[in-house]
A and B are shown apart, each in its own frame.
Chain A
Amino acid sequence: MNNPIGQLNKIFDSRIRIGIMSALMVNEDVNFNDLKALIDVTDGNLATHLKTLEENNFIKVEKGFIGRKTNTVYSITKVGEKAFRAHIDALEIIIKGLN
């Protein structure tokens, strides 16, 4: 039997990245400020984690404008959705396996 802990994705080790992925799983897209309020992090911190997820092709970034203000929205990619589901499955197996 392979070890479920080995199935956990290292990229989702951080609470902030888990938060971003969770929000994007259930919404078509979410903008930066809504993510910030939802996960309760600083701008810089959130931006760093978003960058990591983007570099891994887990999320898509679209820069737009509302009037003159920039409005950057984030959405999940197919790859990201698959990876995140696998991560949740692994978490579940760990919990069930130890009961």
Chain B
Amino acid sequence: MSYLSISHITKQFGDTVVVDDFNLDIEKGEFVSFLGPSGCGKTTTLRMVAGFEIPTSGKILLDGADITNKAPNQRNVGMIFQSYALFPNMTVAQNIGFGLSVRKESKELIAQRVDEMISLINLEKHAHKYPYQLSGGQQQRVSLARALAIHPQVLLLDEPLSALDAKIRISLRAEIRAIQRKLGITAIFVTHDQEEALSISDRIVVMNSGLMEQVGTPFEIYNFPTTVFSANFVGTLNNASAEVVNPAKSLIAINGVQFESAVDLKGRKKGDKVRVAIRPERLSFASEQKKANVVDAVIENITFLGSVVRIQIKIGDTKFNMDTFNNPFLELPKIGSKEQVTCSREAVLVLDE
């Protein structure tokens, strides 16, 4: 039996279904991210685990105990908020010790645990400072220490990095992941940032309009999206309507241009409408290396993105993006020139229309 079981939970506000039949089992020590756009239900789901919202239907089991209707202060769940939510009237040490003091722990134990937590987040010199005297990154680390001090069974992180600048965000997410691994704590991380989710998670739940679109490892989610939404939301993607040409050979055509896919299309009929997705980095110039699919393309535009150069091409009547790594010796084609581009069969993903 899994450690945290979110079983068929639905949440309605009036007539609006915010979370619809969410079903997920999380193992102890696992780091799971809920990824999706604003309003997809990811935060509501997290808040149901925290106890701030009660599901309209469904069950939440934590280590075998039903916590669905338990008050938040009865759950032993640590929560980290986007806005840090440190108590402004308390010092760093008092903030970290707050959860233990409300549990009526002894002063010695509180002091010891606070010291432990402060050294865990490397803020020894700031123990007696107030939140307003700390930077955003430091405040969020205190918030993490405060949530961990109570030995929570699950750590919930509600977009904890969104208010921080890019550099701090990257270093703090690595720090959060390292601490989570070190303590072996089960964690749920809510984010709308796909890069964040891909970099930090054991598993990702892609959500859209209250529904689970796909659950999988970051590798699976990125390389093998199962829905159009999932494919579009995670990473950059070329996607186009296509028609099945030869199911036995997995041949499809995008506006008359044929591609061969590795996806088994035997269950489909000739003429079926499908959606095809190809990651920009899976396309390359055929002059470099020829793969299963070689097609003619016209270069429409070239955009320099730092480490990557994005080339907009037109294959038949369909526009595609093609990414290539930047290097000082890169020879780029001229805009308007005709080139041959190629991609492997595996790069051609076929999704339901």
Decide if A and B are genuine partners: no
**Chain B residues in the interface with A (C-beta under 8 A):** none
**Chain A residues in the interface with B (C-beta under 8 A):** none
